[in-house]
Amino acid sequence: QKEVEQDPGPLSVPEGAIVSLNCTYSNSAFQYFMWYRQYSRKGPELLMYTYSSGNKEDGRFTAQVDKSSKYISLFIRDSQPSDSATYLCAMSDQTGANNLFFGTGTRLTVIP
């Protein structure tokens, strides 16, 4: 079983829709949770970073962590065609930068 599971999609939504992207994990020691966005043929770029449980909002993006269920989510409101990308979740269990575990990514297409 992988440490981090992520539905690869692809996911297609109409412009303006609310998008929900999710990851599950098995290691209860994970405390740091990240979402990266990766455009085609580009490197991943950090989108959201949260510590422990709870919600974090940044513009149209909300990251949610439910440690009791070992489940994290990224919500995108009022989705735009420019949001079309692959979204990677990542998480870590300690203050050690070599311990970052990635999901395989979900490919999202927002249709105008």
Partner 1 sequence: DAGITQSPRHKVTETGTPVTLRCHQTENHRYMYWYRQDPGHGLRLIHYSYGVKDTDKGEVSDGYSVSRSKTEDFLLTLESATSSQTSVYFCAISPLLAGGQETQYFGPGTRLLVL
Measured from the CB atom, the residue of 76 and 87 that comes closer to partner 1 is: 87
44/84 with CB nearer partner 1: 44
Task: Kindly write out the interface string for residues 39-78 of this chain, putting x where it contacts partner 1 by CB under 8 A and - elsewhere.
Answer: --xxxxxx--x-x---------------------------
- In the complex with partner 1, the residue whose CB is nearer, 35 or 79, is 35
Among positions 2-31, residues that touch partner 1 (CB under 8 A) are 6, 8, 31
CB of 2 to partner 1, least distance (A): 9
92 binds partner 1 (CB under 8 A): yes
Full 3-state SS string of the chain:
CCCEEECCCCEEEECCCCEEEEEEECCCCCCEEEEEEECCCCCCEEEEEEECCEEEEECCEEEEEECCCCEEEEEECCCCHHHCEEEEEEEECCCCCCCEEECCCEEEEEEC
